[in-house]
Chain A
Amino acid sequence: MSIRDEVIAQMQRVAKQQSKRLAPLTDETPLLETGLDSLCLAILVASLDDELGLDPLSSETNTHFPSTVGEFIAVYEAAAADADV
């Protein structure tokens, strides 16, 4: 599964678990309009750490917090690329 697919799958899983309705997602959808609140996002980040071994938002080099779904996915894709090098 690609990083993008894994992120989307975990978003759907967390939304279901937290009884939230996930908005139709595009790269431009702001994170705060996905239907996931900050607790959901916190759980999402922890789940992605468990599934992918990546926690780029906790990394010391991370200064920019993503504000859209596309940016969020891009942060994980960049971290995965870094991890592969």
Chain B
Amino acid sequence: MSDTQTTVEPVRMGRKATQPLLIVNDLVKTFGNGVKAVDGVSFTISPGETVGLVGESGCGKSTTAKLLLRTLDPDSGEVKFGGQDLLGMRGRALRRLRSRFQIVPQNPQTSLNPRLPVRSSIEFNLRAHGVPKPERVERIAEVLEQVGLPGAYGDRFPHELSGGQLQRAAIARAISTRPELVICDEAVSALDKSIQAQILNLLAEFQKELGMAYLFISHDLSVVEHISDQVLVMYLGRIVEDGTGSQLWNRPGHPYTEALLSAAPGAERERIVLVGDPPSPANPPSGCTFHTRCPIAIEACSTKRPLLKPTAGGSHAACIRTTDLQQP
């Protein structure tokens, strides 16, 4: 769905809109040191949909999130949120729009102010978005209950809460402005598996109740596959495959996706061990950036950048050798 040739699937959750909530088109970001962090990324998110973004460190997942939040400005590209051009906005208009998209960061220990009780951190967010005082108090009590924290926990400081409770507080802060899109940047990666399952269930429950859309960023393919309607696989700043979780799981169309699935510990697949480390994004390989580590690369792979094309498994993959992938 990120490719121009494909049509956008209409919405699942009960909103009237059939327009995508977020449209990202050919986003590019190169840092001053020559690192091409995001290199032509396009995708859409419909209201109430979860899009997973998976990849290894340095692939540009978090930079993509920062570009969408406008904490970084892209070199080129287009981002439309609810029909409005996000990149052209500044000042008050941007602030007003921001209440509609929120972030749950990776590490709640460092994202919640250690010197403020949790309640004040949530209130700060509400005040920034112009919610009047009486309503703020009400809203805080409501979101704390929604995330399953006893009301009294609002008066606690971050160091008095466990990792799972802190992540609940961070989620409470994010949903307090009633956003339409929540960006979860490795939101469950720091948590133990038993707590991770609690938080994943909570996120799924909110989506059902409040109809929020998620951009769920993680390096953990099993988590992304579990929570997402649509999964984007990123490698060196580019999306190399785009499909539903089960499409990727059952029949990956890109050799990198296949390697990623097989490398996950405990995966009951034939292990494909990639050679070496991912190349530096400051000096990415020519053509398909994966060709240096790809087990089925041919000469043509090093010359031409492949575009996302439909595959036999139903996904879209940027690979000219996709038909030669060994399939179960």
- Asked if chains A and B come from one complex, the reply is no
A contact residues vs B (CB 8 Å cutoff) = none
